[in-house]
Structure 1
Amino acid sequence: MDNENNKSNHEKLDQNQSQQSNNSHSDDFLEQKKSDSENLISENPANEILEQSAEEAPKEILPVTEKKKKNPYKIAFFSLGGIILLGGASYLGYQYYKNHQVEPIVENVCLDTDTKIYDAYKDAVVMVKHKYAFFAKIKGKEVQLNIPEASEETLFGTAFFIDKKGNMISNSHVLQPWNSPENIDKINTDAANIRRKIASILTTDTSEDGYETFIASNWGNASSEYNEEGGYHDGDNEEEEGGEEFINSNEAVVDTTATSDDIAASIPQKNYVSEDEIEVYMKTVDISVALHNSAEEWLPCTIEKISEDSTVDLGVLQLATKETPNTVVNIINLDNAVTDDQTLKPGEKAVMIGYPLGEDLAQTISGIKVQLYNGQISKESDGTKIQYSVTSTNGASGSPVFNNCGQLIAVNFSGLEKVQGYNFGIIAKKIYSVYPVIAGEVKPSTE
């Protein structure tokens, strides 16, 4: 029994010693581990520590990623909404483009409504703004006159493109208003009076560069009436009583110390420019056109041709660029015009596209807009002009007039001011009397 107890005690003692030994080894291992870790941290640079942190980071945000994956319906909902919005915008844009797109005209196709005619040719019809004034050429020097009788004037009209080289047809009285039958006599009379007045004040000692200023400054002393000596200088008699006060820096100073007997001799004698050396006329200052739907963008032009026949109120205007804008899809093709005016019968439709009253009617908050007016042919052609009942007024001169199929039949040029609805146009075939010079084309005789 005692031997068994002793044996048991010895076994327990051995176990305790073994545990202590194991604990001692474990402590040594932990200390060694701690020491190795400290050495590892001290030996690793900062970037290696950051790399370890970066490697551990995904483990921390993993729950967030898993959460997003649990909500796929949100992504699908917003994606579907974006597709619907994009599709709707594309559809509306296409419909707007389709409704506002000008289609090229198919040859020999009848445009059987006013709306189709308007849509086809609205961009080809432009508003003309013509500024003109009196000029004087004195001894070969040209100056614009800035006097009450010769203030600058502005006229509005209409023109239309007939090719891709920027050529347009309008009325000659729009391009040269001073030569129109109703104006020419008055203009010539005014020019003659202005010429005489200039001759009554302009002295030969005035420099060429000072002509414009001298004439404007001394215009109050000018006269167009003959005096008893047969000249225009009715200030000559006033000179004997003290002299006419011209504003001229070149004028000599009167010798006030001279005796009374020599007063007349001391007054400087003015020599005037001869009327034969003066020419007065009207001339274009600026001429330009504005396109339909433009925001008052005026395109400069040149006058290329005026009809030599006073009964044919037509002329050719051309853009300075010599290129028709790309926005003009359809020019008004003369090859499709009605050249047999005897086929135009009273009662048939007449459609005019133009700019009556110029800017007053054309200007809108969204730009310049051309207008359409319709009526019917009221009188047969006389070989040069045709009459129709289309409402019109100043500014519509030069507008194209079409039949019911959209073929050009005339160019509007006049009306009765006292009675609306009676207007006249130059028949389309007369355009060839002015256009071949510009187009370089040989057209058959229209006589």
Structure 2
Amino acid sequence: MENLENDLENNKKPEIENQIDENNHLDEVVKADSNIEENSEPIFEEPKIVDTPIEEVKPTPISTPEKKKKNGYKIAFFTLGGIVILGAAGYFGYPYFKKPAVVATENVCLDSDTKIYEAYKDAVVMVKHRYAYFAKINGKEIQLNVPEATEQVLYGTAFFIDKKGSMISNSHVLRPWTSNEGNEEIYTNISNMRRKIASILTTDIQPDGYETFIASNWGNASSEYYEEGGDYHDEGSEENHGEDFVTSADATVDSTVVSVDDIAASIPHKNYVSEDDIEVYMKTVDISVALHNSTDEWLPCTIGKLSEDPSVDLGVLQLVSKETPNSVVNIIDLKNAVVDDSSIQPGEKAVMIGYPLGEDLALTSSGVKVQLYNGQISKETDGTKIQYSVTSTNGASGSPIFNHCGQLIAVNFSGIEKIQGYNFGIVTKKINSIYPFLASRVGLQEEKLTDKTQ
């Protein structure tokens, strides 16, 4: 037992000695520190405790996180702004900012109907032509507002050929009263209206009152005025001229005539405007075009040159602004058209883009829509026109006709309404008579050949 206690005491002794050594070391360090404080400035200053209310303590700003935060706000702001701008452009400016799925370039074959449609749908427009009867009386022009002279509206098709707002259509679309159809009826109406005006319009009516007076008194007008009035009585007097005797019966007649003349002399005499001073004709009231995808927007136009050859049913139409809309990325370039019509053979594809039946088919809930129809060439050309089996009717006059590659080969102008499949177009080379392009095309080809030789 005594040995065990000695062992425990011997084991504890080293530990106690170690602790004493450590305490002595710490005391030496403290003494060294105290000597430094007495002989020199303190290296470290003890923090001072300040009694500051909690609410007044403000954290020190940290620069790096704040910068990142600001950059985040900027990115979010500009991203949102970009989305708003793109959204507005897409909603309000879609018809003007959109690009066609197919861009037509020279010598590139658009080998499907869909590609041809996508390339040229914006270049083909619907024509709305309002025209009416006008009269010029002693130099004063008025529009006739009478039952026989109601205003007419004709729909057709045209297509852009340059960036100056120039379009090609049919001459009968641009000047329908000069076409063969209905000519006889128009001339008859013009002749009758001249006579009717002369039968009611007196010389005491002022020019500014012509239009109102004619419309108000049209029910009393007669196209047989001269036959029943002047000419009839003149013929009667000529029949009695040259008789060399007078009977008692004749004397009685003579006394009656004198009596009638006396009564007529007491009635105020009215002078009527001579028929020779009256000109009646048809004239454009307004002509405008609507673009594909447009909504109730008609662009005003002027009529340019018309073909002087009655067999070439072509004419030029131009926007008043003389600037093709930006939405028309692809004009129908005549430099890429087929002018060698002898190369167009029966059986080849024919594609038409146009507006048959005008607004009846074109107007939809989302705006004006152009239409595509296809068929094939039916007969060889005669040098002026070509026949094809493409569905067509009123309103499609002036539509471009393409081959399988999307090259212009003709301009649609006529057909048989009751029987589909018999339609005709004026071949492309005839456009040169109203819109010269072959000379510039030859010059361009010569320039390309020169470049190649160099």
Question: TM-score normalized by structure 2?
Answer: 0.70
1:202 aligned residue: 201
Alignment map for 1:36-435 (pairs within 5 Å): 59=56, 101-102=99-100, 103-225=102-224, 226-230=226-230, 264-435=264-435
Distance 1:167 1:134 in 2: 27
What is the one-letter code of the residue matched to 1:329?
A: V
Distance 2:174 2:271 in 1: 39
CA contact (8 A) 2:168 2:314 kept: yes
1:306 Cα shift? 1.0
Distance 1:312 1:56, change over 3 A: farther
CA contact (8 A) 2:432 2:438 kept: no
CA contact (8 A) 2:128 2:156 kept: yes
1:219 Cα shift? 0.3
1:183-225 CA deviation, whole Å, 9 max, x = no partner?
Answer: 2221111111111111111101110001100100000011111
Distance 1:157 1:355 in 2: 7
Distance 1:261 1:280 in 2: 36
CA contact (8 A) 2:99 2:329 kept: no
RMSD between superposed Cα atoms in Å: 3.7
What is the one-letter code of the residue matched to 1:158?
A: T
CA contact (8 A) 2:133 2:143 kept: yes
2:240 aligned residue: none
Distance 1:416 1:351, change over 3 A: same
Q: Structure 1 stretches (4+) deviating beyond 4 angstroms? A: 55-62, 260-263, 439-444
SS in 2 for 1:373: strand
What is the one-letter code of the residue matched to 2:415?
A: G
Query: For structure 2, which runs of at least 5 residues remain unmatched after alignment?
Result: 1-51, 66-71, 234-259, 443-454
Distance 2:269 2:136 in 1: 25
1:87-113 CA deviation, whole Å, 9 max, x = no partner?
Answer: 9x999x99x99x962243221000000
SS in 1 for 2:121: helix
Query: For structure 1, which runs of at least 5 residues remain unmatched after alignment?
Result: 1-54, 70-75, 234-259
Distance 2:136 2:261 in 1: 41
Corresponding pairs, count: 354
CA contact (8 A) 1:387 1:423 kept: yes
What is the one-letter code of the residue matched to 2:365?
A: I
Distance 1:104 1:222, change over 3 A: same
SS in 2 for 1:227: helix
Distance 1:373 1:198 in 2: 48
Distance 1:221 1:314 in 2: 42
CA contact (8 A) 2:376 2:388 kept: yes
SS in 2 for 1:351: strand
Distance 1:56 1:343, change over 3 A: farther
Distance 2:150 2:54 in 1: 86
SS in 2 for 1:393: coil
1:265 Cα shift? 3.0
CA contact (8 A) 1:199 1:232 kept: no
1:441 Cα shift? 6.3
1:91-146 CA deviation, whole Å, 9 max, x = no partner?
Answer: 9x99x99x962243221000000010001111100000000000001111110000
Distance 1:390 1:343, change over 3 A: same
1:36 aligned residue: none
CA contact (8 A) 1:288 1:298 kept: yes
SS in 1 for 2:431: helix
Distance 1:307 1:220, change over 3 A: same
Distance 1:231 1:133, change over 3 A: farther
Distance 1:301 1:100, change over 3 A: closer
Deviating more after overlay: 262-271 vs 364-373: 262-271
CA contact (8 A) 1:432 1:443 kept: no
Distance 1:120 1:346 in 2: 25
Distance 1:231 1:130, change over 3 A: farther
Distance 1:342 1:271, change over 3 A: same
Distance 1:232 1:133 in 2: 34
Distance 1:271 1:442 in 2: 61
Distance 1:116 1:196, change over 3 A: same
Distance 1:112 1:261, change over 3 A: closer
1:324-354 CA deviation, whole Å, 9 max, x = no partner?
Answer: 1111101101111111111111110000000
CA contact (8 A) 1:177 1:183 kept: no
SS in 2 for 1:181: coil
Distance 1:367 1:359 in 2: 10
